[in-house]
Amino acid sequence: MKELKRLIKTTGIYFLGTVGTKLISFLLLPLYTSYLVPSQYGQYDVNITYATLFASVCFLDIWTGIMKYMFECREDDQQLHVVYSGIVIFLSSAVIYIALMACFGVIRKTEYLPGVAAYGFFLCLQNLYGYLARAYGKNLLFIFSGMISTACNALLNILFLVAWKWDYKALYVAYAIGILIQCIILEAKLQLLRQFKRRYLDKDTIKNLLRFSLPLCINSLCYWLLTGYNRIIIEREIDAAANGYYAVASKFGGILLLVSSCFSMAWQEVAYSKYGKDEDTGKFYSYATSIYIKVLFCGFFVILPMVYMLFPYLVDKGYDAAKPMIPVNMLATLAGILFIFLANIIGTYKKNNVVFLSTLAASAVNMAVVHAAIGKIGAEAANIALLAGYVVSDVIRIYIIGNEIEYHLDWKMFRYLVPFTGIVLLGFWKGQKEDNLVLFFLGLIVCVGVLRKDMEPLLLRRKEIFK
């Protein structure tokens, strides 16, 4: 109950900030689709895909290692050794990243190369400061700074696109400035630069962080092959406009990420602090996974009919080709969220090699399916391939966790989750607004039925949990 209480409270904190922050970003979609043609938005999406690849590989996901080792340190002095040893690795990675991006950009003749490189760097800088803020328990500060960052990003996008008539370079500049503002706010409170002392640099700690994070580098490459490779193939085999449609469809899949992200961040903190192999730990992880899957499906049941009804108001008519791609993309996103959730459990036991192998399997399936299908069904092949890859990896990870601890997933829930998923999909593709309105309310009823038994114990003990 202690872990559950912490999980619910932390999730609530993240929810208050994350929903507002991400919602503003999503509401910019009408702006993007009105002022950028599909080929421009598709080119922007491909460029940041490359930037994400180099950033993920070069920076080793070092912030994950820092958080993990900080939670295991009892003394403040030990934590500082972890923090500054990790920052040294981060700065070294930044030099490598900039050099590689410069070479790649010149060879590929990338338009707006400084903006593309800045996107990847500031993405990683945000991760570094964000993970450190959360590791130090500054969750409210993290959320507050994120809201300011997103608001600045939105205002700058409006200024650059509407008032100054910029093209897609506006997206790079606005993003970088917004993230920089967030990092300045976090630095002012954490004072990482001010507290630095040479004695905090520790060779053994650096080696341990590298040993933990280096497998994540290869894992990040495989993850990019799973999530970013398809965008490159769409541009190469079809055109940039098709990738623009795919990118817009992915934005709607991101709504599920919005619903889950606050829980995922809270869950990561709980998972990293709970690494026993006793029966209670196994029951906790089993219960958490089962209810997480139910919540994800319930979110899908309710959100997809809403997307059908709101799509014409959120996206310019020039992007109508994106609409049929949304359902499978959302399902792939659902499987991807579970993919990350399970990785946090495996990472708790420092089995990064296992995470890598399951990601490699997912990447292989994704690449095989997209190459086999894209010539026959077009850009939709990317969504189907992504879904297939995630499902394969999720099954592998569930099996692996079961070998590590007493872990028993409730497979019976799929007997009613899968059939209703089919009904919702059919309503989106073949139905009208009225049909999807009915499915929306029916989805709410199904959600109550699915989650009722799981929520009853929490409601009965709500006073204890929220005390």
Q: What is the pLDDT of residues 348-393, one digit of tens each?
A: 766 667 778 888 999 999 999 999 999 999 999 999 999 999 999 9
* C-alpha to C-alpha distances, 21 to 13, 159, 190, 268, nearest whole angstrom: 13, 19, 22, 20
Q: What is the pLDDT of residues 383-431, one digit of tens each?
A: 999 999 999 999 999 988 888 777 878 888 999 899 999 999 999 999 9
With cut-offs at 50, 70 and 90, classify the pLDDT of residue 172.
very high
- The predicted structure's pLDDT at residue 346: 81
* Domain definitions of the chain by residue range: 1-16+228-467, 36-214
3 vs 259 pLDDT, higher one: 259
Whether 330 shows a pLDDT value over 90: the answer reads yes
- The predicted structure's pLDDT at residue 114: 95
Q: Is residue 156 within 8 Å of 166, Cβ to Cβ? A: no
- The predicted structure's pLDDT at residue 455: 67
CA distance 195 to 306: 49
- The predicted structure's pLDDT at residue 102: 96
| Residue (of 318, 308, 305) closest to 245 by Cα position | 318
- The predicted structure's pLDDT at residue 285: 81
Whether 159 shows a pLDDT value over 50: the answer reads yes
Q: What percent of the chain has pLDDT over 70?
A: 86
Q: Greatest CA span in the chain, whole angstroms?
A: 67
- The predicted structure's pLDDT at residue 380: 96
| Residue (of 188, 174, 201, 186) closest to 80 by Cα position | 201
Whether 440 shows a pLDDT value over 50: the answer reads yes
422-427's contacts with Cβ under 8 Å and 24+ in sequence apart are 424/300, 424/301, 424/304, 424/305, 424/327, 425/304, 425/327, 427/305, 427/308
Hey, what are 359's tokens? 């990601």
Looking at residue 164, what DSSP letter applies?
A: S
- The predicted structure's pLDDT at residue 86: 92
CA distance 207 to 353: 17
| Residue (of 272, 288, 324, 259) closest to 134 by Cα position | 272
159 vs 270 pLDDT, higher one: 159
- The predicted structure's pLDDT at residue 187: 95
Looking at residue 37, what DSSP letter applies?
A: -
Please give the helix or strand (H or E) that residue 34 lies within, else none.
helix 29-35
DSSP notation for 342-407:
HHHHHHHTT-HHHHHHHHHHHHHHHHHHHHHHHHHHTTHHHHHHHHHHHHHHHHHHHHHHHHHS--
Hey, what are 2's tokens? 């202690």
Hey, what are 78's tokens? 């030990």
pTM of the model: 0.85
Whether 181 shows a pLDDT value over 90: the answer reads yes
With cut-offs at 50, 70 and 90, classify the pLDDT of residue 75.
confident
With cut-offs at 50, 70 and 90, classify the pLDDT of residue 260.
low
Q: What is the pLDDT of residues 100-131, one digit of tens each?
A: 999 999 999 999 999 999 999 999 999 999 88
- The predicted structure's pLDDT at residue 465: 42
Q: What percent of the chain has pLDDT over 90?
A: 54
CA distance 56 to 78: 27
| Residue (of 92, 199, 190, 184) closest to 135 by Cα position | 190
Using the CB atoms, write b or e for 378-411: b if 16+ within 10 Å: bbbbbbbbbbbbbbbbbebbbebbeebbebebee
Hey, what are 298's tokens? 């319930």
DSSP notation for 279-298:
HHHHHHHHHHHHHHHHHHHH
CA distance 190 to 129: 9
Whether 29 shows a pLDDT value over 80: the answer reads yes
